[in-house]
Each structure stands twice: as C-alpha cells, then as structure tokens.
Chains A and B, each alone.
Chain A
Amino acid sequence: MSTLLEVRGVSKRFGGVVANREVSLDVPEGSITGLIGPNGSGKTTLFNSIAGTHPIDSGSIRFDGHEISRLRVPQVARLGIVRTFQQTHVYRGMDCVRNMQISTPHSGDTLLSMLRESTAAETERALQLLDFVGLYGKRMLPAGDLSFGQQKLLEFAMALMNAPRLLLLDEPTAGVNPVLINGLVDRLKRANAELGITLLVIEHNMRVIMNLASRIYCLAHGEMLAEGSPATIRDDPRVVDAYLGAT
C-alpha cells in the first residue's frame, strides 16, 4: 500500500498557543486511520492544516506525492480531500437532493458545464447515496429541517458524492443517537471497502475507533504521543495517562 497522505513535522501556532508541534503521520491508501487525543490536543487544527483552512508555520504535507501545504481550501478539495466538521455544515436552505447534486466533484467544472441542469446520472447517484445513509425518505426536506444526527449523515453522503480519495472525518459519531452509531460505523467501513475511499478519522468514542481503524495516532498537547495498532494503543500507558490527566 502506498502512502496517500504524508504529514511531516507540521507545526502551527495561534498567537502564543502552540496547537501543533512537529506532528508527523502517514495515511496509507485504502486504509482507515484513526486520530485520537484528549480535548485541546490539536486534532482539528491538524485537519484544518491538511484541508488548507490556514497556512502552517513549518513542515510539509504531501498528498499523493504532491506538496499541498500552500494550497487554498477549494484547491485541496478539488485534489480529492474532503473533510466533515464537528458542527455540521450542510446547505440549510436547500433540500437534501439539491445538497447532493451540488456536491459532485468540481475539478473538471467550467462555467459552461455549470449552465446545464443536473444530469439523470448525477441525480440517480445522489438518490443512491441518500439511500445508503438512510435519508431517502427525507430527501425532499430542507437540510435545515433535519435533526443533528440526520445532518451528519447528509454531510457524510455529500462527502461521498464528491468522490474523494481521502475523507477527513471530524468526530463522525459525536452527537449521534447511540442506537444509530453501529449503522454509521458500518457505512464508514463500506465506504472504505466498496468505494475505495481512504479515511482519516478523529474520534472520541474509543469503542468505535478501535473497531474501525487499522492504525491509530494519539495526539496530546499538540504533539504526537503514540502510534500503532488498536491493541498497541489501547495498552499504551502514555495514552491512558493522557486521557486520565485531561479529565
């Protein structure tokens, strides 16, 4: 397996606060990689750095061999990296189908191509993916009318619609009804296995991430603390310490 995402020595500070210090990680193509750590350890900052939301202070981020740390958000997205957010971001005034239709990949778009209506194929795919996440019955509702958990599912479906190579998921199960979590985890696995999407997942739910990921990185106080298989991480005393110390 080749390395799809290569983060080397990335540091980022905001004013006096060092959010990330010399963070390095590898995400192999086709894998599910986990990123854990107590609150405030810099996980979302790292995601923001990868996605291009802000520039990094030092280090390098390589996607499929290309340096992307100086690219802007839309450019990074068009290369095939899509991320979801802790607070859901969907287009609240549009119905679910339209949310999906505008989430197609945009790397080939020109003004001319945007002047046509959505194709039948695009709409079909949109409905398929809505069904995949269980939102088919709500497809005509405005996204703003969905519950928080449903919006998370929609956001996930929109991400899949964008046909990314790498999906950055920021706490996908947070706020989701525990009854529905298993179904969500199952869909994440299927997205990875059937659609070939590489996943990098921030998670607080240990049961979920141990089940999901093949390799896990643990951040604490902005630095990489430990990495390894779920079993290794679970038994690592430093990881346990970091979490206990944080509470």
Chain B
Amino acid sequence: MIRLVPFTAGWIEATRVFNCRVAATGFEFPLQPAEGSYLAVDGNAVRGAYMLRPQCFHLHGGEAEEVAHYRLPLSEGAVNRAYLSVGVQLVRHAMRQQPMLYALGMGGMANPLPRLLAAAGWRLTEVPFFFKVVRPFRFLRGMQHLRRTRIRRLAMDLAAFSGVGRAGVRLIQPAVRGALEVECIERFGAWADELWRSCRGCYACIAERDAATLNKRYAEPKYLRLKVANLGWTVALDTQMHGDAHFGDLRVATIADTLATPGAAGEVIRAATAYLERRAVDLIISNQMHVAWREALRASGFRQGPSNFVFAVSEPLASRFDDSGQAHINRGDGDGPIHL
C-alpha cells in the first residue's frame, strides 16, 4: 500500500532508482531531502514525489498570507499504469498539507498535470506570451520553432533575403521611441520597498516583491536589474541560445519580472524594451498575466503568441480572487526565470 512520507536521507537511493524508472518523462526529482518534500512510497520503493515551497502572497492589498507552490509532482503512473493513482494521491496529500496552493508553468494546458489539477477543481489560466522581433533577418533565419517544415523554411528565407520580412516586422513591431532611460542597478534598495508598498494593493494577487526577496532571487550576475525612474523596475535576461529547440542560435531577451502600479506599466515596459533593443538582441519575449502589463507590451510593439505557461490555483486560493487577469504573475514567480 502506498504511503506518503516526508523525504528524508534514508530515501535518497530509492529516489535515485525512481528517477531512473521515470526518466522517460524528462523530469527527475531532486535528491536533496528538504522540508516540504514528500514521497509516495510502496514498501522500499518510491513511486511518486512532490515539493511544497511556502511563499507569501498578498491578496487585494492585504497582509502577507502563506500559500505554497506545488512543485515537481512526479508519478510513476506516467510510465506505468499500475501506479496511475499516485498522481491523485500526491495532489490530495498536498491539499491536506496546505489548501492554498498554486502551480506554474507545466508546459501547457493539454499536459497530464494541468488536466489533473483541472479535474481536482483548480482554476487554470494561461499566462499570455508576448514577443517582439528586434532583428528580423536573424529571427527569420534562426527561429527554429517556426522553421520546422521545408515550405516554412523556404518562405522565411525568402522573406529574410528579399527584405520583405524586415519591412513587415518594422511595420508591425516598430522600435520604441522616446522612452525613459533605465538605470542598471546592482541591488534593490529602500526605494524598491517603497515601490512595493505602493504597488501591492493594486493587484488582486501578487507574490512578495520587497527588496530583500528580490535581492535574494535576482542575485546572479546574469540578471539585468533595470530601474525605471521612480516608476518601477524590470528584471530581464539577455541569453545567447545555442541549438535551442525553439530559438536555435538566436539571442533572446526576456522581460522576466516587473513591478509598477498598473498605470505606470506602459512607461516601464517601453523603457525596458528600448534598452533591450539597444542591446541588439534578436528577439524579446515576456509572459505577463495582468491586463495592464499585457496592454503595456502591446503598446510597445509586442504581439501575443501561444502560451504554454499555465497559472493554476487550488479552489481555496481561487476563491480569494475572481479574475486571474487582475493577478500579477509572470516568469519571476514560481521557480523564477528558468529555461530562459
């Protein structure tokens, strides 16, 4: 009979063997026992695992409330039908530990986990994906995701070499003009706390974004921390891809995280976009849930594309805010900017 137990050191080897059995899923469970990590065990064998990471959310400007990020649920049922109940057991067990749960990413609505969460009564919403082509020639020649068929490759090469692609992109996605200057900062200071206090009440749901949280989350040098006057900030990435399945060898910038009042979102995005355009990246992308940030991206020439980044909230958390479009959710949430 399968039992749910905390992940302790004694289970590391069995978890390693479990990871081998579920390798076909493309995921593996971290082998470091930690508080909030649980295993579904059957005798001496591990058949499933998940993590809960506590986090503070502010709902409608209220005080911080503890929720948990439901992370990396992995079930042997994905590779062996004899264990298909494990996924259900994991989510039910997680709900028993902390009813206020969310999950993020998950690769799209059609995948097994989002479907399971939907069946469990969670509210699922795609976090809209936006893109802006900065260097049309390189984009047309290098965007592997769009170059999957011979016909498409031919059409994109034709558009690239004839100049039609460049003209079209410039028409649809003109470069930003007259934006505010950004200041590249090393750390978030007291001003970021002040901004956080003035902004958090503007959103139906927002994760903690005070200076201490930001300095911890965005400590690595790869992050571009961009302050836009006293209006807000963004955290961006400028990544040279190498043989990426979607982006090939393109240089891709990501506006990963943002904060400002909804009214200032437009100026903040314009400034960040102009800065990234000057860095001569090939493409800028962003996932933003809140309507004001979506409009801000559109106003700066971004276009919406299909999203595989899903925001899922359990029923008790969903009951606290009706409209996910009023929540401030982006790539800075959950595990932070990964796979970028």
Q: Are A and B bound to each other?
A: no
